[in-house]
Amino acid sequence: MRPVIGLEVHVQLTGAGSKLFCGCKADYRGMPPNTNVCPVCLGLPGALPVPNRRAVVQALAAAMALKCRIPGAIVFTRKHYFYPDLPKNYQITQFERAGGAPVCTSGVLEYLDPAGWVWRRARIRRINLEEDPGRSVYPGGSIVSSEEVLVDYNRSGVPLLEIVTEPDIPSPRAARAFVEYLLLTLEYIGAVNPRLEGAFRVDANISLPGGERVEVKNIGSTLEVERALEYEYKRQRLILERGGRVERETRHWDAHRRMTKPLRHKEEEAEYLYMPDPDLPPVLTRPLLGEAEALVATSPRRLLDEITGDGVPLEVAWSIVQARPAASLYMEARGRVRDPRVLARLLGVDYKGALREAGRGPHDPSNWPPAETMARLARLVEEGEYPPEAVRGLIIPGLVRDPQASLETVLPEKAEGLEAVVDEVIRAYPRAVQDYMSGKRRALDYLVGQVIRRLGRRAVDPREVRRLLEERLGGG
């Protein structure tokens, strides 16, 4: 039984600098409650919204990246509902059926599904640009156990993109891949840092043949997108296999218990009293398209195509593109090396792996060395100056510790007098030599190890040591 999945992804434009309609900060994290507020985002009477140009441009860039139809003007609409975290009791968004033109309609995203390394395609129904509400805080723990609710308006008015897909996604794993690829696309635009807490939320619709559509709300990470849908898929399949009926409903993802739960209230037919916002004249898109276009110039897809075009395997290219600083380094350094595949491996596999081991983030540019350092290192590896073991074990960890260090300071000494050491070892381990001479090939490994140990932190190629030992001992 194959599921049909459609997604509604809400992404904060944390890169927009300020909120959608005022000068308060778009990234409110770490601020004391209700300190990132002003009359506009508190909805005080008489305060007027003025669209944040950067947010609109980023939204248009997203629309371009998703190959949308972009209307001539964006028309903001008021959507009314009473809720404590919504200070005006309406949200400014767009709604085409009430004369409010959204940022985009009918787009498509081609996304890479790393399970099988295939490209998939999901149609985009529309993108809205809207205000995030404030945040309800329950001092007693949860909505159920708390006597009172506190509201923090620091988030109120943060620009939010609502991206709605058609039901084109074939599996929970693909849904996760879609969201990851979408977030990466938006990150390249400069619109969002998806690693910030609460920077995106996902609502997912899933149905199985013979069942109604179920909406799962409140999914907060890409891993949970897969988990929630996997859970819901199994739950619905079980019901259908037992001959039951899957009702149309809205469920809530409980990340802690890893299960979906029905929402307590039956949803009423919502009446949002949509109305074009009279405080906001239509925002003409044409004058902003050039600016938006510049933001989509380096899309993940374009980079992947460029990097794989250099002969780099897709897995390695994907690893590079997932970390923006690695991708920039690659593009900067690729012209200065003979074989870009060596550079790609250094960046996407070795250095990124070392960062992970060291517990440092691959998304922070300051954790990466300058392009010149990486290019020189790649050339040294190409020329066989240092064996891979030395690069992985000595040079890269040195750079991870201090990315600004000059290459010279992290390069190990060349092992001078290797032959003398080999002779030393042959003299020191007569038993091993004897074993080897009598046909125990593994004794040679032991001797190689001893040579490397005596060389300490100096760089040496184990194959070279083996060759020298064999030469001295007469090939066994």
Partner 1 sequence: MKKRGSLAQQLASGVYNPVERLEEALYLISRLEEEVNAFITLLPEERLREEAREAQRRILEGKARPLEGVLVAVKDNISVRGLRATAGSKMLSCYKPPYNAHVVERLVDAGAIIVGKTNMDEFAMGSTGEYSAYGPTRNPWDMGRVPGGSSSGSAATLAYAAVDLALGSDTGGSIRLPAAFTATVGLKPTYGAVSRRGLIPYANSLEQIGPMARSVRDLAFLYSVIAGRDPLDATSIDYQPPDPYTLEPRDPEAVRLCVPEEIIDASEAPVKAAFEGLLSRLEAQGATIEYFRAPWTSLVLPAYYTIAMAEAASNLARYDGSLYPCHDSRARTWEELNVEARTRLFGPEVKRRIAMGVLVLSEGYRDEYYVKAAKIRRLVRDRVLGIVRECIIGQPTSPVLPPRLGERLGDPLQLYALDISTVTANLAGVPALQLPVSVEPLPVGAQLMARPRGEVDLFELGLLVEEITGLAGVSAF
Among 1, 44, 115, 150, binds partner 1 (CB under 8 A): 44
Among 67, 325, 376, residue whose Cα is nearest residue 188: 325
**HEC string for 357-404:** HCCCCCCCHHHCCCHHHHHHHHHHHHCCCCCHHHHHHHHHHHHHHCCC
Check residue 397 for interaction with partner 1 (CB under 8 A).
Answer: no
Check residue 149 for interaction with partner 1 (CB under 8 A).
Answer: yes
Q: Do residues 79 and 95 lie in contact, with contact meaning Cβ atoms separated by under 8 Å?
A: yes
Separation CA 315–CA 303 (nearest Å): 13
> Helix, strand, or coil here: 333?
helix
Check residue 17 for interaction with partner 1 (CB under 8 A).
Answer: no
Number of H helices, E strands in the chain: 17, 15
Residue with tokens 């690729």: 334
Separation CA 374–CA 366 (nearest Å): 14
Which span (84-92, 104-112, 326-334, 356-364) binds partner 1, by CB under 8 A?
Answer: 84-92
Check residue 273 for interaction with partner 1 (CB under 8 A).
Answer: yes
Among 35, 84, 419, 456, binds partner 1 (CB under 8 A): 84
Among 140, 262, 281, 361, binds partner 1 (CB under 8 A): 281
Among residues 44 and 223, whose Cβ is nearest to partner 1?
44
Among 88, 155, 301, 334, binds partner 1 (CB under 8 A): 88
Check residue 49 for interaction with partner 1 (CB under 8 A).
Answer: yes
Check residue 140 for interaction with partner 1 (CB under 8 A).
Answer: no
Check residue 143 for interaction with partner 1 (CB under 8 A).
Answer: no
Which 8-state DSSP code applies to residue 414? B
Separation CA 341–CA 147 (nearest Å): 61
Burial class (CB in 10 A: 0-12, 13-18, 19+), 6: buried
Q: How far is the CB of 279 from partner 1 (least distance, A)?
A: 5
Separation CA 327–CA 368 (nearest Å): 11
Among 30, 32, 45, 209, binds partner 1 (CB under 8 A): 45
Instruction: Write the CA distances from 441 to 86, 334, 434, 445, 453, integer angstroms.
Output: 76, 42, 11, 8, 20
Residue spans of alpha helices (H) in 111-221: 172-189
Q: How far is the CB of 281 from partner 1 (least distance, A)?
A: 6
Check residue 42 for interaction with partner 1 (CB under 8 A).
Answer: yes
Among 31, 47, 259, 394, binds partner 1 (CB under 8 A): 47
Check residue 155 for interaction with partner 1 (CB under 8 A).
Answer: no
Instruction: Write the CA distances from 243 to 25, 205, 236, 239, integer angstroms.
Output: 53, 22, 11, 6
Among residues 111 and 274, whose Cβ is nearest to partner 1?
274
Q: Do residues 15 and 190 lie in contact, with contact meaning Cβ atoms separated by under 8 Å?
A: yes
Which span (12-20, 271-279, 392-400, 451-459) binds partner 1, by CB under 8 A?
Answer: 271-279
Q: How far is the CB of 50 from partner 1 (least distance, A)?
A: 5
Check residue 48 for interaction with partner 1 (CB under 8 A).
Answer: yes
Among 30, 32, 46, 243, binds partner 1 (CB under 8 A): 46
Check residue 271 for interaction with partner 1 (CB under 8 A).
Answer: yes
Q: How far is the CB of 284 from partner 1 (least distance, A)?
A: 13
Which 8-state DSSP code applies to residue 439? T
Residues binding partner 1: what is the number (CB under 8 A)? Answer: 29
Binding mask 310-349 for partner 1 (x = CB under 8 A): ----------------------------------------
> Helix, strand, or coil here: 320?
helix
Q: Taking the CB of residue 406, how many other CB atoms lie within 10 A of it?
A: 13
Check residue 287 for interaction with partner 1 (CB under 8 A).
Answer: no
Q: How far is the CB of 138 from partner 1 (least distance, A)?
A: 13
Among residues 98 and 405, whose Cβ is nearest to partner 1?
98
Among 43, 190, 211, 340, binds partner 1 (CB under 8 A): 43
Taking 3-state DSSP, the helix, strand and coil percentages for the chain, each rounded to the nearest 5, stand at: 40, 20, 40
Which span (207-215, 267-275, 317-325, 418-426) binds partner 1, by CB under 8 A?
Answer: 267-275
Q: How far is the CB of 133 from partner 1 (least distance, A)?
A: 13
Q: Which parts of this chain interact with partner 1 (CB under 8 A)? A: 39, 42-51, 78, 80, 82, 84, 87-90, 98, 149, 271, 273-275, 278-281
